[in-house]
Amino acid sequence: MSTPRPRLLIHGASGRMGRSLLSLLAESTQLQLVAAVANAPRADLGALAVLRPAQIGQAPAFDVAIDFSAPQALPGLAEACVARGAALVSGTTGLDADALAALSTAALKVPVLWAANFSLGVALLAALSRMAASAVPDWDCEIIETHHRRKQDAPSGTALRLGEAVAAGRGQVLADVARHGRAGSEAPRIEGEIGFHAMRGGDVVGDHSLLFAGEAECIELSHRALSREVFARGALRAAVWLSGRTPGRYHIEDVLGLPHS
């Protein structure tokens, strides 16, 4: 007898990530899309229930929700997941105290997995970085990231997460050793610091590299996101993995069986 496919609700279906999820789901055999929540109407979802955020309580039964929306939308979604006993996968960033509290409260009743970056490759890079830092804690480490010219923040949240992985591998606290950029007479490197460098240009989706430099040898670890699709693919895989698990907080690393920092 085949296992039934988890029933999926997409929250934020009209956004860039929502559209990417919908196009990937067209070929998915692992999840069954049953509802979508969108602020804007969508003509291309056929018979699917497309709900406005205020109507989420009317959604048909679902086993897992994937959310890429806005922080203020999370409490309502978290409540709906608890009411249905459904798992919650969220990639919405910039969470405020209300949204963070909503995730923690929901995790008492249902499985919850929130990640700032759903790329499985980045999760693997973080684990490799931690391993490298732990093996050669005295080597210098610099983290270099490149993003499109419109990116507002620097360094990227992912670069900071990689920095945390390196700091954890060395037994450091990132805030004590992070060094952002290097210029002028204060430029010489301080032993033990982790340097961050941000490049901006064009439409680069997201490149991250770590340089580990020892005496007469270097190791470079790099990841390149070729399209936003990587985040949607990671979220779909996380949804399949999370559905039906026991309540609690999970991490993207758990999906790959990796340790997390």
Residues 5/32, Cβ–Cβ less than 8 Å? yes
Residues 196/181, Cβ–Cβ less than 8 Å? yes
For ligand NAD, give the closer residue by CB, 41 or 188: 41
Residue 171 Cβ vs ligand NAD, minimum distance, rounded to whole Å: 28
- Residue 73 is a binding residue for ligand NAD (CB under 6 A): yes
Going by DSSP bridges, is the β-strand pair 32-37/49-51 parallel, antiparallel, or unpaired?
parallel
How far is the C-alpha of 120 from the C-alpha of 113, rounded, in Å?
A: 14
Q: Judge whether 148 counts as a catalytic residue.
A: no
Q: Which of residues 105-144 bind ligand NAD (CB under 6 A)?
A: 115-118
Q: Which residues contact 34 (CB under 8 A, 6 or more apart)?
A: 7, 8, 9, 48, 49, 59, 60, 61, 62
Q: Which tokens is 229 given? A: 């699709």
User: Judged by CB under 6 A, which of 91, 111, 163, 169 binds ligand NAD?
Assistant: 91
Q: Judge whether 109 counts as a catalytic residue.
A: no
For ligand NAD, give the closer residue by CB, 23 or 189: 23
Residue 149 one-letter amino acid? R
For ligand NAD, give the closer residue by CB, 117 or 172: 117
Residue 86 Cβ vs ligand NAD, minimum distance, rounded to whole Å: 16
User: CA-based Rg of the chain, rounded to a whole angstrom?
Assistant: 20
Contacts with ligand NAD by CB under 6 A lie at 12-18, 37-40, 53, 68-70, 72-73, 91-94, 115-118, 231
Q: Which residues are catalytic?
A: 147, 151
